[in-house]
Amino acid sequence: MNGAHDMGGMHGMGPIDTDPDDPLFHAEWEKRAFAITLALGFHGRWNIDTSRHARENRHPVDYLSSSYYELWLKGVERLAVDSGMISPEELVTGKPADVATTPPPDPARVAAILAKGASAKLDADVPARFQAGARVRALDITTSGHTRVPRYCRGRIGTIDRDHGVYVFPDTHAHGLGKKPQHCYSVRFNGRDLWGNAAPGNDAIYVDLWDDYLEAAP
């Protein structure tokens, strides 16, 4: 989707607060919102692409005026309701209508779950469409659904820097349409090919893009 989350190349956002001692959390509720999101995710009722889409798919004014963990809270509320884990009524009233039949993982297992992770890399025998060094164009994809092609590189030509292997494809995975295994590459774009000739000639921007986002370029 062409949402407010896709920020690369926007102007007017102001200076960066570069203070290295700025705390990771600015309020206790931010810690809870973060932890609730991860803990509820342990049930496996959604995947990382679904959850990103839940945070991104909102009115641009809402997105831009919400702090980071506000977006996480709004995202996890939506995921919990959309997945049927809680009802809209329960969310509004805060009163449980019933108790879950599947218990959450034992708290003693949390460290092991985090240390294991969940790689999106797939052991699938899918041929690569491109080799390192190939010239490719990022397709000019416009979709109202989830995608990971930043707007700033759509339609632009770059070079395959390396093939990362076969990965879950987020555009389908976010919407329950399967993993659609395919190669994901690091594509190198020259800064001038993205931002015009005023950009320095020796800036390069590397974007990780899947086969379905690319076509061969002359």
Partner 1 sequence: MTGHDHIHDHHHGNGHEHRHAAPASPMAERVKSLEALLVAKKLVDPDSLNALIDTYEHKVGPRNGAKVVARAWVDPAYKERLMRGATAAIAEFGFTGRQGEDMVVVENTPAVHNMVVCTLCSCYPWPVLGLPPVWYKSAPYRSRAVMDPRGVLREFGTFIGDDVEVRVWDSTAELRYLVLPERPAGTEGFSEERLAEMVTRDSMIGVTRVKAPESAP
Residue 19 in the binding site for partner 1 (CB under 8 A): yes
> Site for partner 1 (CB under 8 A): which residue of 47, 54, 73, 136?
73
DSSP assignment, residue 103? P
Q: At what angle do helices 68-82 and 28-41 cross, to 10 degrees?
A: 30
Nearer Cβ to partner 1 (90/134): 90
Residues 40-69 within binding reach of partner 1 (CB under 8 A)? 40, 42-43, 48, 52, 55-56, 64-69
Alpha helices (H) in 131-188, listed in sequence order:
170-173
Alpha helices (H) in 118-179, listed in sequence order:
170-173
Residue 79 in the binding site for partner 1 (CB under 8 A): no
| Range in contact with partner 1 (rule: CB under 8 A) among 24-32, 128-136, 174-182 | 24-32
Q: CA torsion 128→160→174→53, rounded to 10°?
A: 180
Residues 98-157 within binding reach of partner 1 (CB under 8 A)? 98-100, 103-107, 110-111, 113-121, 148-150, 152
| Min CB(108)–partner 1 separation in Å | 8
Residue 13 in the binding site for partner 1 (CB under 8 A): yes
Q: Which phi and psi angles does 158 have, rounded to 5°?
A: -140, -170
The Cα–Cα gap between 141 and 10 comes to 19
Nearer Cβ to partner 1 (9/218): 9
Distance of CA 107 to the CA centre of its chain: 27
Residue 17 in the binding site for partner 1 (CB under 8 A): yes
At 213, is the secondary structure helix, strand, or coil? Answer: helix
Q: What number of chain residues touch partner 1 (CB under 8 A)?
A: 98
